[in-house]
Amino acid sequence: MRIYKAKDYKDMSRKAANILSAQIIMKPNAVLGLATGSTPEGLYAQLIDWYQKGDLDFSKVISVNLDEYYGLSPESEQSYRYFMNHHLFDHVNIQTENTHLPNGLELDVKKEVARYTELIRSFDGIDMQLLGIGHNGHVGFNEPDTAFETQIHCVDLTESTIEANKRFFASADEVPKKAYTLGIKSIMQAKKILLVCSGADKADILYRALFGPVTPEVPASILQMHNDLIVVADEAALSKFPEELFD
């Protein structure tokens, strides 16, 4: 595991964008596992900026998103497809047919899980998986106590996740109760993982995830076992980590 300390959110976004763009430069047809949430927004904005300056080319990039709400259409402003279009895809030269998310409108879970599993398999896996971390240690929609062996699946969201995500909806009642997500095992199969984290409110969970026991109670703790984990976090999120780590 390598941990890079950034000064603040802006610096975290820039450092993480540098790592993701290095991946694209080294492998123009890279398969990127992308994530939604507030944390990667600045990183995506930085990638767009570099694209507009002519420093990045997404024409061969393939993207595979981590998760999508069950039952939401791609046109819904709360869907993760909408988020990705709005925060990245509409602003760079990625081919729409190369951008993939679980299909929230497919209500046949077995069918959608099989389709998405086969899709990722057909790309020979994910080169770099971008991840945020939830306050309860979730990654994607893998909530505490999800078995580490879980592959792509459809989950019932916990109250705390519904509560955290209601800020994007008119009310908590409108937050879908289920979502498709890559499972812990599918995430661990990515060749590289880039975890981004910002803010004092994440300091405890980030420390538990990276230095606490590896336990399904903290889904992100399994990332300690990945052989190519890169963490980019700001000073506030790293405030519980010993200073010597960064000498």
- Nearest residue (CB) to ligand PGA, 33 versus 132: 132
- Nearest residue (CB) to ligand PGA, 98 versus 231: 231
CB 52 within 8 A of CB 20: no
Q: Which residue is nearest to ligand PGA (CB)?
A: 37
CB of 166 to ligand PGA, least distance (A): 12
- Nearest residue (CB) to ligand PGA, 98 versus 188: 188
CB of 170 to ligand PGA, least distance (A): 18
Q: Write out the catalytic residue numbers.
A: 67, 136, 138, 143
> Which residues lie near ligand PGA (CB under 6 A)?
37-39, 132-134
CB of 69 to ligand PGA, least distance (A): 13
Q: Which residues make beta-bridge pairs with 90?
A: none
CB of 185 to ligand PGA, least distance (A): 18
- Nearest residue (CB) to ligand PGA, 133 versus 222: 133
